[in-house]
Each structure stands twice: as C-alpha cells, then as structure tokens.
Amino acid sequence: MRTTTTDPISLHDVMNPEQHPFVIDGEGDSAIKIFFENEENKRTYLDIAVEHPGNDFTTNLNNPQPMAGDDPTH
C-alpha cells in the first residue's frame, strides 16, 4: 500500500498523519492511504463523483459539448 500525506483538497502536507482522518482507496498493493487535514476535507473528497468504467454505468463525466477544432459533421 502506498501512503500520501498531501491532503488532496487543501494540497497541504499533513503533519503527524497518525492523528488525522484518512481513507484507503483501492485494494492490495495498488491501494493508497490518503491523509486529510480535517474531516471536512475528507468528506469533500468522498463526495467527488468518480466513474468506474465497466462497473458503474450511472455516472457519466463526459462533456458532450464540442471542443474547439471538432468537426461538427461527426
């Protein structure tokens, strides 16, 4: 398991991580333990929608708007 002490919401380094909230994302060797400065940042992180292609067909983060340079005929 990998560990990160950079709070992904505040981008601050978490000092004394053993005294802070965390989540474990994934399983086995590819899992990551993410520490947060506070419970609010942890909740914010957990509320972020995530697509799981092949498993979850209810969340679609696709942006249907055409991008600059797109061919509108396709």
Residues 6+ apart with CB under 8 A from 59: 49, 50, 51, 52
How many domains are contained in the chain? Answer: 1
Tens-digit pLDDT profile for residues 24-52: 999 999 999 999 999 999 999 999 987 66
Confidence at residue 22, expressed as pLDDT on a 0 to 100 scale = 98
Instruction: Evaluate if residue 13 carries a pLDDT over 80.
Output: yes
Instruction: Evaluate if residue 59 carries a pLDDT over 70.
Output: no
Residue 60 lies in a domain: no
Buried residues in 18-38 as b, exposed as e (16+ CB within 10 A): eebbbeeeeeeeeeeebbbbe
Domain extent for 11: 2-46
Residue 73 lies in a domain: no
Confidence at residue 67, expressed as pLDDT on a 0 to 100 scale = 73
**In which band, very low, low, confident or very high, does the pLDDT at 12 lie, cut at 50, 70 and 90?**
very high
Percentage above 90 pLDDT, the chain: 65
